[in-house]
Amino acid sequence: MAKYSNLVKEILDGIGGKTNIAEVTHCMTRLRFVLKDEQKANDEKIKQIDGILQLVKAQGQYMIVIGSHVDKVYDELCEQTGVCASAEAAETKSDEKTLTRFMRFISGIIFPATYVMCACAIINGINILLKYVGILTPEDGIYILLNGMGNAVLYLLPVFYGYTTAKQVKIDPFIGIGIGAALCNPNISGIPLDIFGFEITATYTSTVLPVILIVLLASPIAKFLNRKVPDILRGFGVPFLTFIIVIPLGFCLIGPVVNAFGTLVGDALNGLIAINKVLAGFLIAGLWNVSVVLGIQGVISLPSIANVIGGIPDYFGAMRSGVCFAMAATALAVFIKTKNMKMKNVSLPAFVSAMFGVTEPALYGVAVPNLKVFIGTLVSSGLGGAVAGLFGAMAYSVGSGGVFQVVGYINPADPSGSTIAIMANYIVSFVSAFIITWFLFKDQEKSSTSLQQLENVKKHTKDKDILVESPMEGEIITLHDVDDPAFASGALGKGIAVIPSRGRVIAPFDGTVSALFNTHHAIGLTSVDGVEMLIHIGLETVKLEGKYFTPHVKQGDTVKKGDLLIEFDIAKIKEEGYSLETPIVISNTDAFDDVMTEKSTNIHMYENLFVVMNGSRG
Model pLDDT, residue 300: 78
Model pLDDT, residue 616: 47
Model pLDDT, residue 508: 92
Mean pLDDT of 430-446: 85
Q: What is the residue type of 5?
A: S
pTM for this one? 0.52
Q: What is the pLDDT of residues 239-290, one digit of tens each?
A: 999 999 999 998 888 767 876 777 787 788 878 888 999 999 999 999 988 8
Model pLDDT, residue 536: 93
Mean pLDDT of 471-496: 85
Instruction: Give CA–CA dist 129/341, Å, rounded.
Output: 28
Q: What is the pLDDT of residues 6-19, one digit of tens each?
A: 888 899 999 998 88
* 3-state class (DSSP) for residue 329: helix
Q: What is the pLDDT of residues 486-527, one digit of tens each?
A: 788 777 888 899 999 999 999 999 999 988 888 889 999 998
Mean pLDDT of 429-442: 94
Is pLDDT of 563 > 70?
A: yes
CATH architecture of 452-613: Distorted Sandwich (2.70)
Mark residue 560 as left, alpha or beta (left: phi above 0; alpha: psi -120 to 50; beta: remaining).
beta
Mean pLDDT of 199-209: 81
Strand partners, 167: none
Q: What is the pLDDT of residues 304-318, one digit of tens each?
A: 776 776 678 888 888
Q: Report DSSP state, residue 66.
A: -
Question: How many CB atoms lie under 10 A from the CB of residue 17?
Answer: 11
pLDDT tier at 294, thresholds 50, 70, 90: confident
The CATH code belonging to domain 4-81 is 3.30.1360.60
Domain boundaries, given as residue ranges, for the chain: 4-81, 101-261, 276-444, 452-613
Strand partners, 586: 494, 533
Element (H, E) at 566: strand 564-568
Mean pLDDT of 343-353: 84
pLDDT tier at 611, thresholds 50, 70, 90: confident
* 3-state class (DSSP) for residue 582: strand
Instruction: Give CA–CA dist 611/586, Å, rounded.
Output: 11
Instruction: Give CA–CA dist 610/321, Å, rounded.
Output: 60
Q: CB under 8 Å to 133, separation ≥6 — which residues?
A: none
Mean pLDDT of 592-599: 77
Is pLDDT of 52 > 70?
A: yes
SS3 content of the chain, % helix, strand, coil (to 5): 55, 15, 30
Q: Long-range contacts made by residues 220-229, C-beta under 8 angstroms, separation at least 24?
A: 221/245, 221/246, 222/171, 222/172, 222/175, 223/82, 223/171, 224/82, 226/79, 226/80, 226/82, 226/171, 227/81, 227/82, 227/83
Q: Which of 22-36, 237-251, 395-409 has the lowest mean pLDDT?
A: 395-409
Q: Which of 290-299, 419-428, 433-442 has the lowest mean pLDDT?
A: 290-299
Model pLDDT, residue 68: 67
Of 223 and 29, the structure prediction assigns the larger pLDDT to 223
**Catalytic positions, please?**
27
Instruction: Give CA–CA dist 599/39, Å, rounded.
Output: 43
Is pLDDT of 377 > 90?
A: yes
Is pLDDT of 454 > 70?
A: no
Mean pLDDT of 176-189: 92
Model pLDDT, residue 606: 81
Model pLDDT, residue 460: 47
Is pLDDT of 132 > 80?
A: no
Mean pLDDT of 457-470: 66
Instruction: Give CA–CA dist 359/285, Å, rounded.
Output: 13
pLDDT tier at 542, thresholds 50, 70, 90: confident
Does this chain's domain 4-81 share its CATH topology with 452-613? no
pLDDT tier at 95, thresholds 50, 70, 90: very low
Instruction: Give CA–CA dist 188/202, Å, rounded.
Output: 8
Model pLDDT, residue 594: 80
Helical ranges in 451-594 per DSSP H: 451-461, 485-488, 570-575
Q: How far is CA 150 from CA 128, 176, 319, 468, 598, in A?
A: 10, 23, 26, 48, 57
Q: What is the pLDDT of residues 37-48, one digit of tens each?
A: 888 899 888 888
Q: Mean pLDDT across the chain, nearest whole number?
A: 83
Model pLDDT, residue 330: 95
